[in-house]
Amino acid sequence: MTGEALQDLWVWMSPVHDQVWSLFFTLLIGAVYWIFRAQVKLIWGVSSNSIHFIPTEDDRIEVYTEKYYVQNTGKKTAHNTEIVMSFRPDDVSLYEPRDHKESVNPNGKFIVSIPSVSPGELLIMDVVYINKRAASVESVKCDEALSKQVRFVNNRRYGPLFNFSVISLFFLGIAFLVQIIGQIILR
């Protein structure tokens, strides 16, 4: 539609302008409410792993560990959260200790079921494998949503002087950009 056709349509609808505006604002407020509604946002990732070889009289024992993180970053409680792995590890522990159920489904997948994960809550799951390869996490899900895997990167923590210097330079750079843009616009 061209601008002229839209203008003609608007003139034709002049008897119902108030209703059109009411409908527009109702839809706008509904969309804003829908965008900012409380929802579950599950994220998970692997942060570290380690391998240890323990010598014995006959052979050596290989002990492999992994640490998984599951967090609800949303504003609504996640119910019936499940962590599904390709097979059962030799040991699983959750931190903070909490009520959970471990099971193996008919396809041989290992499932850790957690009744609920509160908003902002972080679960840490340590798994141990003895003389076998590590299982892979196939899914993390709850009744309300699927999860999103995030990559963890170990990085160095810097001292307060360095952090203050970086933040100061950042804000000085922003101020410089605002000043330059203001000068360009006001010319």
CATH of 42-149, one of 2.40.50, 2.60.40, 3.40.50, 1.10.287: 2.60.40
User: Residue 109 has what pLDDT?
Assistant: 92
Neighbours of 139 (CB within 10 A): 14
Query: Cβ(113)–Cβ(103) under 8 Å?
Result: yes
Q: CA dihedral in degrees (55, 56, 58, 64; nearest 10)?
A: -60
Does the pLDDT value for residue 187 go beyond 80?
no
Q: Residue 1 — pLDDT band, cuts 50, 70, 90?
A: low
Domain borders along the chain are 3-35, 42-149
Strands 60-72 and 122-130: antiparallel
Cα 25 from Cα 31, distance rounded (Å) = 10
Task: Give one DSSP letter per residue of 135-156, joined into a string.
Answer: P-EEEEE-SS-B-EE------P
User: Residue 16 has what pLDDT?
Assistant: 78
**136-149 confidence digits (pLDDT tens):** 899 999 998 888 98
**25-66 confidence digits (pLDDT tens):** 899 899 888 888 888 899 999 888 888 898 988 889 999 999
Cα atoms in the 13 Å half-sphere on the side-chain side of 159: 1
The rounded mean pLDDT for the chain is: 88
Kindly state the average pLDDT of the residues 115-122. Answer: 91
Does the pLDDT value for residue 79 go beyond 90?
yes
